Amino acid sequence: MIRHFDVTAIKLPIVYNKYGDVDPDGLMYVLNENREMVEEQVERCPGTFVNLVQPLVIRANRGDIVEITFTNDLCFSAGINVKGLDCNIQNSDGAFVGINENSLVPPCETRTYRWDAEVEGAFLFTDLGNPLSSEIGSNVHGLFGTIVIETPGSFWTDPQTGCELKSGVFADVHHPFLPDFREFVTVFHDEAPVKNRFLEDPWDPHMDAVGMTHSINYRSEPMRNRLHLIEEGIVCPECKGEEVHHDSWVFGDPPDTILPRCYEGDPVRWHVMDGGMQETHIFHLHLQQWLDTRRDPGSKHVDSKSISPGGTLTFDINYGAGSLQHAYGDVIFHCHLYPHFDEGMWGIQRIHNVLEDGTRCYPDGTPITRLIPLPDIAPPPLPTPEKPGFPLFIPGKFGNIAPTPPIGFDRDFPITELEENALAPNAVEGALFTNPCPDCVRIHRFDIVAIQLPLIYNEACWHDPEGRIYVLAEDEEDILCGKKKPEPLFLHANPNECVEIHFTNHLPEQLGPNAFQIMTETILASPHVHLVKFDPLTSDGANTGWNYMTGTEYKQTVVYRWYADIALRYCFFHDHLFANSNQLHGLFGGIVIEPLGSIFRNNFTGELDDVGSQLAIENPFIPDFREFCLAVADWIPAYDRNDKPLNAPPRPGIMQDMGIMAFNYASAPFRIRDGDPAYVFSSFVHGDPWTPVFEGYEGDPVRLRLIDGSHEESHSINFNRFRWKEENHNLDSNLIQQQHMGISEAFTFQFALEAPDGPNVEKDFDTLYYSGGMDDLWLGVWGLVRTRGTAISGLYQLGDRPRKRRRTEPLPKRTGKPPKPAVLKSNPFPPGTKVHRYHVAAIQTNILYNKFGDHDPYGMTFVPYDDVPKILRGEMNPEPLIISINSAEGIELTLTNLMPKHLDVPQFPEVPVDQKWPYSSRVSMHSQTAFYDVLDSDGTTVGFNPDQTIGVGESITYRWMYPFNADQGILVDFGDVRNHRNHGLFGAINLTAPGSAHYDNVTKQPSELGDQIQVTNFFLPCYRQFSVLAHNGIYLEDKFGNLLPKSFFDPAEQPTDFDTEDQGMKGYNLRSEPFFNRFLAGSAVKEVFASLPQNQGDPLTPVFYTTPDSPITFRLFMPGNESRATTFFVHNQLYYAESRYFESPIKGVLESVTVGENRRLNLLPPSNRKFIVPGDYMYHSTNVRWDIEQGMWGIMRMLGDQKSGY
C-alpha cells in the first residue's frame, strides 16, 4: 500500500510556552491540509502556543511504501532525510552527496520521495540541505519530524475524538487481532534559539545571565519563567523556586503536546526521538519501567536511557500505565541532565483513574480534556461527588504549593472526607492511595538521614565544604566526626520485600553562596527512587503536576514505601526537590535488589551487612559473588587545600561545565600524581589511588553495580581485561568492555576475576577501570580491581569457592620508583592455536588529514615496522593500524618505540583544572577483547603490576588470545594518555569467523591490514568489512599553521570558549573533512557533501567501495579522546543493535558512542531492501554541532548496475 502525504517546509514563529518564549524564525514540516489552519492560528494568537504547531509525526504500516510530495517554502534548498528507511539514494535521500543526483528541493519547488516501511519502529527525519549548527542552519529551528511504522493491519485514531488521525504526536493505535494501545511520540531538541515574549534574550534570574532552552515537541517549561513569577510575588509567596518547578497547583499545566494522557492500566508504547544537534540526553520516566530490549521478555528493566541526535528509543510500559501496582496521578518525564531539566526539558504523563468526558475542570479552571477509553479495555469508573477522581480529591489551592499527603507529613489541617474516600483499602503510611506491597511480604526497613559535611576527595585535599550525602541514621555521628569514611549510600535487599525508608532531613535550609552557586534556600529534601514500585502520590519524593508535594522538611521524618517485586539490580535514588542544587554535592545513592534468597556480608570481615559498596553475596541457588558498587559524579563544586575553587564558573550560578569529577566521593587526578606520565597509574610510584580499590580472590564471580549520580556529563566506563554481556541472560548478547552512561542510568557488569593461567593461580594482579574521556581521566576518575591469588587477613573468602593458601609473602608497597619491566612468561594460546606475529613501531610524524592541508604536525601512530622508512620520508601518509584475523586465534605483537625522546607537544585540547603536563617518550599497546596475562600483556603500568611501557629504542612483546565469541577491539597506548591518544596513537583489531580469509577490498590481494577488507568463508556468506575509527579532540593546524577550528560560517556566532570536551577537531581514521575548507573554496551549503571540483572531489575520509549485492559489515571504534558522545549513521541502512542478538532493536543510528566503544554493525542484507541502487551512501555523525561540521563524515560508494527501485 502506498501511504501518500503532501508536506511543506515552512517558516513561522514557534511559541514554546504560555510565557511567550518564542523562536521567531522557527521552521517545521507540516501537512499541506493543515498548513492554512496552522498559519491562521499562529497569526491569530501571537505569543501563544498553538497545539497544531508540533513536530510532524506520520504513520504507516510495515510493508507500506511511504510517499511524500515535498514542497520547499523556505529560502534555501531543503529535503527530507530519514534515518534508516530504505529508499532510492539517487532521488529520495534528501541530500546532495558525492557523485549522486541532487535530491534536495530548491526554494519554491516540489519533488516526491519514497521509502520502504520495512521494519516497525520510529524513524526521525531531518533536513540535510542546510546542516549548519548555527542559527543559519535548519535543525536548530525545528526542521525535523518522525515516521512511525506500525504492525500490518493497524489503524490509528485521535485520543480525544476517536476519529481517524492523519498526523500527531499522540495517537490511539488499533488492530483487529492485537491489543489497542496509547502511542506517545516525544522529540527532544536542545538549545533552540528562543527569545522571550519581548524578543529579547531570555534572562534567568537564578544565573543572572541569559538562559538556554531545551525542549520537547517544540515546548519548554524552563525554571526561569516560573522563578520570575515567584520573585515578583505573583504566585506562591512561600515558594523558593526549584521545589515547585513542576507544580501545577502553582503554575498550571505545561502545554498539551508534552502532556500525554491515559487511564490506569492502559497499554502504552512510547517513542522518544532526539531531534537535537549536540547533546546526548537521558530520558527518564518516573514510576514506570520498560524492558531494555523490547522484544526479549528476559531483558533487564530500565527507566532511564541515553538518546543521542538522530536516535530513537521505543518501549512499552511494563504492566500498562501506572506499572504493576496500577497507580494513578501525574508522572513526570524529563531529561535527567539537570541543567537541561532546569532549562525546560520535561513533561507530564497524566494517568486518570476516572472517566474524563471533557465536561469537568482542573483546580485552576482549565477544562479537563476528553479522553476516549481504548475500545478493548473496560472503561474506568465514572466520577461521583464522593469519589471525583484524581486530582479533584486533593485539597489544594491554585496559586499555592501543593499540599502534603494527609498522613505521615506535618500538615496543618486534617484529612478531608474526599481524601478518606480515595484511600486504598490497604492504605499505610507511605502508600496511601496505591499500596504496591502485597500483604504478608517482609518489611525491610532502613533509617537514613541526609546530612551536610565537608567531603575530601583525595590526598591533595580537594574538598567540597558543603558535601551533602545520605547516611544510615546509626552512622550519622561517626561520619560527621570522621570515624567512618563517607561513601555513597548503597542499600541491599531481596526481591519480594517491602522496603520502608524512614527518611530524616538534617540538611541546612541554606546552601551557599559559594564560588559555584548563589545562595539557595533548600527547605526540603527527599529520596526519589527509580525502578521499584511505589505510590506516586505519597512516595515519589517529588512535586509533580496536581500530585501532593512529597518532600521532607528540615528535621522531619517521613516514611517512603517501595516494593521490590523482582531482582531489579541497581535502583538509583536521589533528591528531587532541589536536585539541581543538591545532587552535585553528593546527594545520591542506590538500592540493589539482589537475586532471590541472597545473604549479604561485608566483603572484608564477612559479617552480615546490608549496606556498603563492597559486599560478598551468598545465595543457595546460584554461585556466590563479590558485589562492587560504583557511582560516578561530575560538576562537583570543589576547592583545593588553600580553598581556591577548582574550575569554577565565571560567576556563581552560571550552569556550565564546572568543578571536578569522582568515583564514590574520591578522585586520583593526574596533576597530583606527577612525574613520568607512563607511571601515573602505578602504585609503586604513587601509592594506591583514593578511588575504590575493589578486592577479591582469583576466580571469584563479580557483579559490579554502576550508577551515574551527578550531574551533566556523559561518561564512558571502561575496564581493562574484563568483559561482560550487554544482556547477561542472553548467550547471543554482545561481549563488551565499555559502557556509556549519563546521570541516573544504572548498569550491572558480570565477570570473573580470572587469571589467564587457569584456576588457583597464586599470584596477585591489578586491573584498571576508568572513565575514558580525557577530562575524566585527568580529573582522576579511575581506580583498580585487585585480584588476590593467596588469602590475606581482611578479605573474606566466598563460601562456595576453594580455600586459598594463606599468604606468607609481604604485600607490595609504594617505593616512589618505577616498577621493574614486565618479563614475558605467559602463553595464553591453547595447543594448536594459530598465532599471528606482527612487528609494529610507534612513531611521531606529520599526518595530513585532508586535501586542503589540515594536518597534525605532532601526529603519532602505530605502523607496521617495515613501513616506517616510507612514512618518515613522506612517501606514505599514515593510516590507523587495523588488523583483521579470525576469532579463536592469537597475536604475538612486538612493539618498538621510535618516538622522539623530547617533544614540545601543545597542551591542547585543554582539560579542567589544567596545568603543564610533561610529554612521555614511553609507549605501550593495550588490546581490548583479548584474553591475556595482566602482568605482562596488558600494556598498562597499573597498581602493583610490572612496567609494560617501553622507552625510546626499546621493544616489548605482548601475547593476546582472542576468544571464539569476541568481535573486535581497540588498540591504544597507555604510555602517555594525555599527550599520545589525541595525536593518533591507536588502532583496532577485527575478528571474523573461524575459517575466514581476508583480502584487500580494492586490490583483491590477501591482506590482514587495512580499513576495507573482503572477508570470505567456505561455510558462511562473504561480506565487505569497513572499519571506522571515530575520534575527537584532534590537534590540527591548517596549511598556514593556524590552530583549528577556525570558523563557523557566521562570525557573529563564532564560538570563543569551547567546553574542554568540544575542543579540537573531529574525524575518522586520521582524516577529517570540515565544512569550512569547502566553503572557503566556493562550495554552497547545499553542496558541502558533493564531490565537486571546488571541493577537490571526494573527501579524504575513507571512501568505501561496494556493490548492490554485497553484504556489508561496518566496524565502528572510538579510541579517543573527549567524553562528548557521538553517533554513527549510514544513509539508507539498518542493522541490529547487537550483531548476534536478533531480539535487539533494528536501528538506523548508533547512539551514545564514547571513548572505548567498539561496535559491529551488520547492515541488513541487500536481499531485504527494495531500493538499493548504485550511488554514494554517506556515513556520518548525526551530531550537527559540531561533529559533522568539523569533519566526521565520509562516503560508501556502491558501484555496478541498479538492482531495483524507482
DSSP assignment letter at 229: H
Residue showing cell 565565571:
650
Interval 322-339 mean pLDDT = 97
The domain 835-1198 is placed in CATH, from the list 1.10.1200.10, 1.10.3720.10, 3.40.50.720, 2.60.40.420, at: 2.60.40.420
* Separation between Cα atoms, residue 371 and residue 519, nearest integer Å: 44
CA distances from 203 to 196, 207, 342, 569, 904 (A): 8, 8, 13, 42, 44
The C-alpha cell at 307 is 538518546
The pLDDT, as a whole number, for residue 1057 is: 67
Which residues, in sequence order, are CB contacts of 1095 under 8 Å at separation 6+? Answer: 1078, 1081, 1083, 1087, 1088
Supply the DSSP string of 798-811, one letter for each residue: PTTSPPPPBP-SPP
* Separation between Cα atoms, residue 405 and residue 505, nearest integer Å: 17
Q: Is the peptide bond before 909 cis (omega within 30 degrees of 0)?
A: yes
Q: Are 392 and 363 in contact (CB under 8 A)?
A: yes
The pLDDT, as a whole number, for residue 1206 is: 26
Q: Are 1201 and 1109 in contact (CB under 8 A)?
A: no
pLDDT above 70 covers a percentage of the chain that reads 98
Q: How many residues does the chain have?
A: 1206
CATH of domain 1-162: 2.60.40.420
Res. 1202: pLDDT tops 90: no
Res. 1051: pLDDT tops 80: no
Which residues, in sequence order, are CB contacts of 151 under 8 Å at separation 6+? Answer: 61, 62, 120, 175, 178
The pLDDT, as a whole number, for residue 712 is: 94
Domain boundaries, the chain: 1-162, 180-424, 444-532+568-788, 835-1198
The pLDDT, as a whole number, for residue 1095 is: 86
835-1198: same fold as 180-424?
yes
pLDDT above 90 covers a percentage of the chain that reads 93
**In a 3-state reduction of DSSP, which class is residue 218?**
coil
> How many CA atoms are closer than 13 Å to the CA of 693, on its beta-carbon side?
17
State which fold the 180-424 domain adopts: Immunoglobulin-like (2.60.40)
- φ, ψ of residue 1033 to 5 degrees: the values are 65, 30
Residues 454-503: tens digit of each pLDDT: 999 999 999 999 999 999 999 999 999 999 999 999 999 999 999 999 99
Q: Is the peptide bond before 528 cis (omega within 30 degrees of 0)?
A: no
Residues 715-764: tens digit of each pLDDT: 999 999 999 999 888 888 889 999 999 999 999 999 999 887 766 678 99
pLDDT band at residue 145 under the 50/70/90 scheme: very high
Which of 1070, 963, 1130, 947 lies closest to 81, judged by CA?
1130
Interval 1143-1153 mean pLDDT = 94
Q: Are 645 and 435 in contact (CB under 8 A)?
A: no
CATH of domain 444-532+568-788: 2.60.40.420
Q: Are 509 and 490 in contact (CB under 8 A)?
A: no
**In a 3-state reduction of DSSP, which class is residue 755?**
coil
pLDDT band at residue 1046 under the 50/70/90 scheme: low
Burial 169-197 (b: 16+ CB within 10 A, else e): bbbbbbbeeeebbbbbbbbbbbbbbbbbb
* Separation between Cα atoms, residue 318 and residue 186, nearest integer Å: 19
One-letter amino acid for residue 697 of the chain: Y
Chain centroid offset of residue 395 CA: 40
Q: Are 105 and 132 in contact (CB under 8 A)?
A: no
Q: Are strands 889-897 and 835-844 parallel, antiparallel or unpaired?
A: parallel
- φ, ψ of residue 1052 to 5 degrees: the values are -70, -20
Which residues, in sequence order, are CB contacts of 180 under 8 Å at separation 6+? Answer: 172, 173, 174, 267, 374, 375, 376, 377
Interval 1126-1140 mean pLDDT = 94
The C-alpha cell at 331 is 508522572
* Separation between Cα atoms, residue 805 and residue 165, nearest integer Å: 72
Interval 96-116 mean pLDDT = 98
Q: Is the peptide bond before 760 cis (omega within 30 degrees of 0)?
A: no
Burial 612-644 (b: 16+ CB within 10 A, else e): bbbbbbbbeeeebbbbbbbbbbbbbbbbeeeee
Q: Are 702 and 750 in contact (CB under 8 A)?
A: yes
The pLDDT, as a whole number, for residue 1052 is: 46
Q: Kindly provide the residue ranges of all beta strands, DSSP E only, lying in 439-531, ordered along the sequence.
A: 442-456, 463-472, 489-493, 497-505, 524-525, 528-529
Interval 12-30 mean pLDDT = 97
The pLDDT, as a whole number, for residue 1203 is: 42
Res. 405: pLDDT tops 60: yes
* Separation between Cα atoms, residue 61 and residue 1008, nearest integer Å: 44
* Separation between Cα atoms, residue 16 and residue 211, nearest integer Å: 14
Res. 597: pLDDT tops 50: yes
State the chain's mean pLDDT as an integer.
95
One-letter amino acid for residue 894 of the chain: T
Long-range contacts of 368-374 (CB under 8 A, 24+ apart): 369/160, 369/256, 369/261, 370/160, 370/161, 371/159, 371/160, 371/261, 371/262, 371/263, 372/157, 372/159, 372/160, 372/161, 372/162, 372/172, 373/263, 374/172, 374/180, 374/181, 374/182, 374/263, 374/266, 374/267
* Separation between Cα atoms, residue 764 and residue 790, nearest integer Å: 8
The pLDDT, as a whole number, for residue 1053 is: 52
The C-alpha cell at 486 is 563517607
CA distances from 999 to 178, 412, 966 (A): 49, 79, 21
Interval 630-638 mean pLDDT = 98
* Separation between Cα atoms, residue 1038 and residue 856, nearest integer Å: 9
Residues 866-895: tens digit of each pLDDT: 999 999 999 999 999 999 999 999 999 999
Res. 1054: pLDDT tops 80: no
* Separation between Cα atoms, residue 277 and residue 1188, nearest integer Å: 10
Interval 425-431 mean pLDDT = 97
Residue showing cell 593556524:
1042
Res. 164: pLDDT tops 90: yes
Q: Are 1024 and 1111 in contact (CB under 8 A)?
A: yes
Q: Is the peptide bond before 677 cis (omega within 30 degrees of 0)?
A: no
